[in-house]
Amino acid sequence: MSQKNGNLLEVNDLRTYFQTEDGLVKAVDGITFNLKRGETLGIVGESGSGKSVSNLSIIRLIPDPPGKIVSGEVIFDGQDLLLLSTEAIRQVRGRRIAMIFQDPMTSLNPFLKISRQLMEMTQLHLGHSKSQAYEHAVKMLEMVGIPDARERADNYPHEFSGGMRQRVMIAMALSCEPELLIADEPTTALDVTIQAQILELIKRLKRETGTSVILITHDLGVVAGMTDHVIVMYAGKIFEQAKTRELFATPGNPYTKGLLRSVPDPTAEQGKLYQIPGLPPDVARLGPGCPFAPRCERAEEICHKEFPPFVQLNPDHCSLCHFAKEVFAESGGQMSDQDR
Amino acid sequence: MSTQEFIANPSVPPPQAAGDEPLISIRDLKVHFDLGGGGLVDKLVGTNTEKRVVKAVDGVTIDVYARETLGLVGESGCGKSTLGRAVLHLIPPTAGEVLYKGSDLAHLSGKRLREQRRHLQIIFQDPYASLNPRMTVGQIVGEPLETFDLASGEEAEKRVQELLETVGLSKRFIKRYPHEFSGGQRQRIGIARALAVDPDFIVADEPISALDVSIQAQIMNLLERLQREKHLTYLFISHDLRAIRHVSDRVAVMYLGKLVELANAKDIYAEPLMPYTKALISAVPVPDPEIEATRQRIVLEGDVPSPINPPQGCRFHTRCPYMIETCKEVVPRLVQIKPNHFAACIRISPDHPNIEDVAPGAAPGLESGQHS
């Protein structure tokens, strides 16, 4: 089943553009990354950075019009999802790639019992009979830690709290044992003690089922605890990608550096908080240079004029910056073999 | 009742910040919302036979000292925003007092209340909902100047320009409308509006929660700069424990309408005493993979119970890993466990501050008579 190199997912030069009144918005503009089986990849970025659109593109849920995937490949288990027929992609969605979203209330049908919504998944994808599907639904609810799962199965979504609804969503997403779970800000709407519960749950289920996970979040703390690799997005581009530990220890991009420094660390002494000046760019009006240059501390003339190169710092570590090597060295980063 | 009597009341000694006078004193403040039920008709019909009351804030006593930032943290439904609003009398308190420089706001009426309230301002969470979309930035920021007869005409316009510059916005924006701005910029407009009347005290109710990470840092820094320059006092309300740690001098933790712990920011994060605070602090994701890899996290069971008819005794007992039978009956008080570190838990006392070291089933706080 698996590809030679152990990659479950290979995204190559994916571009998703939106035609808007303000002109063409290049929401995702040429992103490339791989995900190995059993790994967790974090995608961080601020609003409008393209992190959610990239993942909607992977499962082809981009509303067209106004959106369009204009180029690229999404190789999932050897198959380019962008070439599949609408019918074939529906077989993949939910069955082999599942998604959970930020707001569990809007992703559940308020008129249907939880059990019905869970049963739909396995009846459709696994061909379960009604009673099989019901038993499976109860089993899934138990697995995600819903107390009294059998009684609760016949409740409606509004009878659950936010954290419980997110558990239901996770139960639904995992009910067909997908190979890839895409979680888009799964804990952003939840309280911190409930967030801890959900993150522990995702970790445990990942261990038990071996599912690969793409975790989209704006919270660098969540990324630090949950992921093996991280991608930092800005203005539709990947600005930096690396192993999680390396990215936090020795970032090679000024934007990543700024982002890391602007999050208060509760375990450290509180000095003045670093702030990235200015505002995120209007993606419809990007100049020729680096999109971050207007906010970047170390930007030089070239940054405003020429688009930066994607510099490889280490086998798993790349940064989009004219001065990537310098920034990396300043963070204390060591390049392994110079001429790889 | 006079201020003196309350301060003399030993049940909850106000924590002392070095020699400062309290600017705001909150005394046994309660805000209850009646949801109906329990009436004669209800009983006859057989529905809603029990009276239902949300005890959003249920007996909070705390002082806010001049020029400090008091962080108020808790999960949704704990009553932190209601408390913030009740302090300003935007929601009338059911019982208790709020003293501003020693005078009780509740006893003021109409004109006097408005006059006093000028010194007390609020910044809201949602910069999209808290600005009138039909007013220009100039009108929004200038309105309080007119309301309180502080300036008008050219003088007001000049003042508005100054205010915009103070919060880091160009004065060219004066004729624009809120929808033309980003979330961070709108929050700056809201801050400018609050500053227009030269307040002493600002309730900042989740001021950064709706903003992006890089913009959050900008707003936190702005609030800190304004505090230094204008000698402001903040009640900073947030569910974001990292932000609270960063901006606050002291931190108060709230759970289902009650304060459960209060201490200096540094102490409460380094050594939380009450089990809920312990879980809360341990649940905060730290942006450092090395720390995250080895960290032991206390994961609480279950959800926050409904504030309608909350649990008896200690309200946290339904989720507390250290719960003993007595916790279901005794309502713990906020007691000084360590110097300037207060916690509400019968299972700890000044002699036994660490709950991990307390013998199983023991309640040293109860034995020393602090909670009776």
What ipTM score was computed for the predicted complex, to two decimals?
0.82
CA distance B200 to chain A (A): 23
Q: Touching check for B50 and chain A: CB below 8 Å?
A: no
Q: Which residues contact A277 (CB under 8 A, 6 or more apart)?
A: A295, B218
CA A159 to chain centroid, in Å, comes to: 29
CA distance B1 to chain A (A): 38
B30, B93 in Cβ contact below 8 A?
Answer: yes
Closest CA to A181 of A297, A94, A291: A94
B246, B287, B288 ranked by CB distance to A270: nearest: B246
User: Chain B partners of A197 at a C-beta cutoff of 8 Å?
Assistant: 299-300
B280 with A193: Cβ contact below 8 A = yes
Task: Express as a percent the part of chain B with pLDDT over 90.
Answer: 58
Given this model, what pLDDT does residue B3 score? 31
Given this model, what pLDDT does residue B370 score? 66
Given this model, what pLDDT does residue A82 score? 94
Given this model, what pLDDT does residue B151 score? 85
Distances from the Cα of A245 to the Cα of A89, A123, A258, B141, angstroms: 35, 41, 17, 46
Helices (H), B91-152: 110-117, 137-147
Q: Touching check for B291 and chain A: CB below 8 Å?
A: yes
- Mean pLDDT over the full length of chain B: 86
B245 with A224: Cβ contact below 8 A = no
A263 with B287: Cβ contact below 8 A = yes
Given this model, what pLDDT does residue A4 score? 55
A318, A312 in Cβ contact below 8 A?
Answer: yes
Q: A154 - beta bridge partners?
A: none
CA distance B363 to chain A (A): 25
Of B128 and A172, the one with more pLDDT: A172
Closest CA to A150 of A134, A165, A166: A134
Q: Which residues contact B217 (CB under 8 A, 6 or more apart)?
A: A262, A263, A273, A274, A275, A276
B299 with A197: Cβ contact below 8 A = yes
User: Chain B partners of A201 at a C-beta cutoff of 8 Å?
Assistant: none
User: Chain B partners of A280 at a C-beta cutoff of 8 Å?
Assistant: 182, 212, 214
User: Chain A partners of B182 at a C-beta cutoff of 8 Å?
Assistant: 279-280
Q: Touching check for A161 and chain B: CB below 8 Å?
A: yes
Q: Touching check for A338 and chain B: CB below 8 Å?
A: no
pTM for the complete prediction? 0.86
Q: A212 - beta bridge partners?
A: A180
CA distance B3 to chain A (A): 35
Instruction: Indicate if the alpha-carbon torsion angle A215, A220, A222, A225 is positive or negative.
Output: positive
Q: Touching check for B246 and chain A: CB below 8 Å?
A: yes
**Mean pLDDT, residues B12-36 taken together:** 74
Would the pLDDT of B199 be above 80? yes
Would the pLDDT of B86 be above 70? yes
Given this model, what pLDDT does residue B140 score? 94
Given this model, what pLDDT does residue B369 score? 64
Q: Touching check for A187 and chain B: CB below 8 Å?
A: no
Interface subset of B 215-234, CB within 8 angstroms of A: 215-218, 220-221, 224
Helices (H), chain A: 51-58, 86-92, 114-125, 130-143, 149-152, 162-174, 192-209, 220-226, 244-249, 254-261, 301-305, 324-330
Given this model, what pLDDT does residue B20 score? 64
Would the pLDDT of B108 be above 80? no
Kindly tell me the burial class for residue A21, based on how many C-beta atoms sit within 10 Å of its own C-beta (0-12, 13-18, 19 or more): exposed
Mean pLDDT by 10 residues, chain A (340 residues): 71 93 88 94 90 92 89 94 93 90 80 92 91 93 85 89 85 90 87 86 88 92 94 96 95 94 83 86 87 93 95 94 95 71
**Mean pLDDT, residues B353-359 taken together:** 92
What is the per-residue pLDDT across B151-188, written as a single tens digit (0 to 9) for each?
888 899 999 999 999 998 888 889 999 988 888 889 99
A220 with B299: Cβ contact below 8 A = no
Confidence band, pLDDT 50/70/90 cuts, at residue B302 = confident
DSSP B335: E
Among the listed ranges A18-22, A100-104, B24-28, B145-149, which one has the minimum average pLDDT value? A100-104
Q: Touching check for B297 and chain A: CB below 8 Å?
A: yes
**Mean pLDDT, residues B215-223 taken together:** 92
Q: Touching check for B277 and chain A: CB below 8 Å?
A: no
The values of phi and psi at residue B16, to 5°, are: -100, 120
